[in-house]
Amino acid sequence: MALLSLLSSKVSLSALAVGLSTFVSNTVAQTSFNCTEFFVPVSISAQTVELNLGSPHNQSELTSLVTRMTYLESTIVDEVTVGPSMVNATYNIWSQLCVPDGFEEDGVIEFTIHGGTENHTYFNFGKESPYNYAEAALKAGHAIFTYDGLGVGNSDKPDGIQEVQIGTETAVAIALVEKLPSLLSFGKVVGVGHAHGRYDN
């Protein structure tokens, strides 16, 4: 319950109101930890690219678009790019913070960014599995922050063409990192990215 008290005193009321949803205690190979799930409202201003491209209406259009994009001599980027644009918006991002018992104020928190086709579960699957990254981090005494990227999982799903771009995803990641000190006292943040997520790190 110490983490819940810490969150109550350090998270803004708006973040709590948006949804502190779950408080879970777990034990993994003699490592006790607490995980809390919540939504974090993030306000961003990000440079994007305006695209003259509508949403595919069916699987055939989507397949055609992907084929055109991945063709070696594809010119689709030049064909659909209108020019630079800006996104100014607030999004609710589903997040999870797991903290091992006895976490020190100068400890390490790992900030994870999943790949483009995954969500937060990429880092936390298969309980007590040798491939469960979150459990390995907790066993090492690190706190770990995972989240569903913009347009994925439980996070907000804005326009997938005009808004969900690398610029907005990077701005969301930066905003979340900036909010970490309000959630937990720590000494160092380590960024962990997989595939597409490595570009945001």
Instruction: Specify the pLDDT at position 201.
Output: 52
- All structural domains of the chain, each given as residue ranges with its CATH number in brackets, are 2-48+87-199 (3.40.50.1820)
Which CA distances in Å does 171 have to 53, 63, 86?
23, 29, 12
**pTM, to two decimals:** 0.80
Which CA distances in Å does 21 have to 4, 36, 39, 97, 166?
11, 7, 8, 12, 28
CA distance 139 to 31: 6
Coil/strand/helix, residue 22: strand
pLDDT-derived band at 168 (thresholds 50, 70, 90) equals: very high
Average model confidence (pLDDT) across the chain: 84
